[in-house]
Amino acid sequence: MKYEDFVKNRITELRIKEDISEYQLSRNLGHSESYIHNISSGRALPPLKELFNICSYFGLTPQQFFDTEIDNPQMVAEAMEGFKQLSERDQQTILDLINSLKEKDK
């Protein structure tokens, strides 16, 4: 897949998941109502700074934007932020719980 196609498809995927229209997203980002439509249709690509703004709008880092293997990137980001604030002992407890749940699902 071409990078251009990936970017437009990923923005569309995130927009639909959040149940927001192209028009609404365009306006929320401070652009004309056709801005996101032009990206989604392949007529334009967002400049890097605007791609960062789109990532921020959806609560994603650029890395999370490009990582499609994560089903709920916002939830993972929130979990990681919380995890970082825990003591090492509590982090180990959470990790043990995750491993236990993974084993249970097998």
What integer pLDDT is reported at residue 73 of this predicted model? 76
Question: Which residue segments constitute the domains of the chain, with CATH numbers given?
Answer: 1-67 (1.10.260.40), 70-106 (no CATH)
Phi, psi of 72 (to 5 degrees): -125, 75
Is residue 70 within 8 Å of 55, Cβ to Cβ? no
- Cα–Cα distance, 6 to 8 (Å, whole number): 6
What integer pLDDT is reported at residue 1 of this predicted model? 61
What integer pLDDT is reported at residue 19 of this predicted model? 96
- Cα–Cα distance, 50 to 34 (Å, whole number): 15
Report which secondary-structure segment, H or E, holds 45.
none
Locate 20 and state its tokens: 């927001």
- Cα–Cα distance, 91 to 82 (Å, whole number): 10
What integer pLDDT is reported at residue 91 of this predicted model? 95
pLDDT in tens for each of the 106 residues of the chain?
A: 688 899 999 999 999 999 999 999 999 999 999 999 999 999 999 999 999 999 999 988 898 899 888 777 778 888 989 999 999 999 999 999 999 998 887 7
What integer pLDDT is reported at residue 38 of this predicted model? 96
